[in-house]
């Protein structure tokens, strides 16, 4: 069980990168919501302990229970639909034994582990078409459950992670081209319907977010309010930022940016630490993502390759979406910045995923 552990193969650089990014998050949270700083610090301690513990356990042992992992993901997502708590127009959280957490964050990790085994194990037992159909059907269930919360952005991230895992798992490029041939027109159709105001796929608030993205001047006092204030705050940070002690000139301190500790945490970094601080956070995210993919490229087997690539996709894609929203590049999605935004569920699950990635690295 612990035979694969070696201090020589332990990726200290990856751990250092993750902790450095998490430290940036702690500084931002302390500035945005000081009352939440201690809770995030507790999450950091739990996350690091879980990461180190998981890195010692052979991931093959965990993958033996892949169907249990999949069942747990579905059960959690069903539970949040029927007994979850609402906030911000969505029902995404559940409370068990006095602890509130977000099942969709845990589902990402559980599904990465499930597909690491399923893609390889059943590819040997089925021909391409049935195997591909089974993979898509099994992913469609959790994606639909997350979408119904509603949480379109998280369901999109899950789909993109799935495509990358399928590619890493050996999916033929012809199938990928065919998937894009369907996905691109479908995406254009969704955007077109949203702009016309008659979408049968998106809810009204999702349509408003897309409309505000294309025409922010028409929604400056409503849907685009957050994003426009976010861009002003980031720009006001200048090169070096305003620092933690700014009170009067800080847009953050005036309360015009809500959810600054979660969805708009990058805004806090931009205003407080300026262009240099923002670039430092982006570089850390890029290096962590790159390290995950490098570990995937060198993994000793396909299962390890899928786990490391899945984690790299999770961190990279979700970071791109979050920063894109804060800077006005993308429509508002309401998704956290990995290792930076406040949220114990996301933080602990990300650290657990890094633990599995470290274990893959130690078996190269």
CB 142 within 8 A of CB 162: no
pLDDT at position 86 over 70: no
| Mean pLDDT for the stretch of residues 354-360 | 96
- SS3 of residue 321 by DSSP: helix
Q: What confidence score (pLDDT) does residue 249 get?
A: 55
| Mean pLDDT for the stretch of residues 21-40 | 92
Read off the DSSP letter of residue 337.
P
Is 3 among the domain residues? no
| Mean pLDDT for the stretch of residues 347-358 | 97
CB 48 within 8 A of CB 63: no
Q: Which helix (H) or strand (E) holds 137?
A: helix 128-147
Domain count, the chain: 1
pLDDT digits (tens, 9 = 90+) for 298-337: 999 999 999 999 999 999 999 999 999 888 888 777 789 9
Q: What confidence score (pLDDT) does residue 64 get?
A: 95
Is 244 among the domain residues? yes
Q: Per DSSP, what are the bridge partners of residue 95?
A: 100
Share of the chain above pLDDT 90, in %: 50
pLDDT digits (tens, 9 = 90+) for 216-225: 666 656 666 6
Residue found by looking up tokens 């408003």 in the block: 208
Of 302 and 213, more confident? 302
Query: What is the number of H-type helices and E-type strands within the chain?
Result: 13, 3
Is 262 among the domain residues? yes
pLDDT at position 297 over 50: yes
Is 212 among the domain residues? no
Q: Which range is least confidently modeled, 15-24, 67-76, 192-201, 307-316? A: 192-201
Which two three-digit tokens encode residue 12? 């200290």
CB 100 within 8 A of CB 94: yes
90 lies in which domain range?
Answer: 12-171+220-362
How far is the CA of 57 from the CAs of 104, 165, 349, 362, in angstroms? 24, 22, 16, 10
Is 278 among the domain residues? yes
Q: What confidence score (pLDDT) does residue 33 get?
A: 86
Is 76 among the domain residues? yes
Which two three-digit tokens encode residue 363? 């078996």
Please work out, in degrees rounded to the nearest 5, the angle formed at the alpha carbon of residue 314 by the alpha carbons of 313 and 317: 70
**Rg of the Cα trace of the chain?**
20
For residue 280, with 0-12 CB atoms within 10 Å meaning exposed, 13-18 middle and 19 or more buried, which class applies? middle
Dihedral sign (CA 106, 107, 108, 112): positive
Is 100 among the domain residues? yes
Which two three-digit tokens encode residue 312? 């790299």
- Strand segments (E) across the chain: 85-87, 90-96, 99-101
Is 88 among the domain residues? yes
CB 335 within 8 A of CB 263: yes
pLDDT digits (tens, 9 = 90+) for 138-181: 999 999 999 887 788 899 899 999 999 999 988 777 777 777 78
Please work out, in degrees rounded to the nearest 5, the angle formed at the alpha carbon of residue 322 by the alpha carbons of 232 and 241: 40
Q: Can you give the length of the chain in residues? A: 364
- CA atoms of 195 and 208, how far apart (whole Å): 9
Laid out side by side, the sheet with 99-101 consists of 85-87, 90-96, 99-101
Answering whether pTM is above 0.85, one says yes
């Amino acid at each position: 069980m612990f035979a694969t552990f070696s201090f020589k193969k332990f990726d200290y650089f990856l751990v250092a990168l993750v902790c450095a990014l998490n430290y940036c998050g702690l500084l931002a949270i302390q500035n945005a919501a000081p009352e939440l700083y201690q809770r995030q610090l507790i999450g950091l301690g739990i996350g690091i302990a879980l990461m180190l513990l998981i890195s010692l356990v052979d991931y093959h042992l965990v993958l033996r229970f892949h169907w249990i992992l999949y069942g747990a993901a579905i059960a959690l997502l069903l539970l949040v639909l029927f007994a979850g708590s609402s906030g911000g127009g969505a029902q995404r959280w559940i409370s068990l034994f006095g602890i509130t957490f977000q099942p969709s964050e845990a589902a990402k990790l559980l599904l990465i582990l499930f597909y690491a085994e399923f893609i390889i194990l059943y590819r040997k037992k089925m021909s391409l078409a049935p195997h591909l159909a089974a993979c898509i059907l099994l992913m469609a269930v959790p994606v639909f459950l997350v979408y119904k919360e509603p949480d379109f952005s998280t369901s999109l991230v899950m789909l993109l992670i799935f495509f990358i895992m399928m590619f890493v798992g050996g999916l033929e490029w012809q199938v990928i081209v065919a998937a894009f041939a369907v996905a691109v027109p479908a995406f254009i159709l969704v955007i077109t319907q949203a702009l016309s105001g008659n979408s049968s796929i998106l809810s009204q608030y999702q349509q408003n977010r897309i409309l505000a993205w294309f025409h922010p001047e028409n929604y400056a006092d409503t849907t685009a309010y957050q994003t426009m204030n976010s861009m002003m705050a980031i720009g006001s940070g200048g090169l070096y930022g305003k620092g933690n002690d700014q009170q009067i000139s800080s847009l953050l301190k005036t309360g015009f940016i809500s959810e600054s500790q979660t969805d708009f945490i990058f805004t806090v970094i931009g205003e407080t630490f300026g262009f240099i601080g923002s670039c430092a956070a982006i570089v850390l995210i890029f290096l962590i993502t790159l390290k995950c993919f490098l570990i995937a490229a060198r993994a000793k087997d396909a299962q390890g390759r899928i786990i490391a690539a899945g984690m790299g996709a999770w961190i990279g894609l979700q970071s791109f979406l979050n920063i894109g929203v804060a800077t006005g590049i993308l429509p508002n999605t309401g998704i956290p910045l990995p290792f930076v935004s406040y949220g114990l569920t996301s933080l602990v699950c990300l650290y657990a995923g890094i633990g599995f990635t470290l274990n893959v690295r130690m078996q190269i």
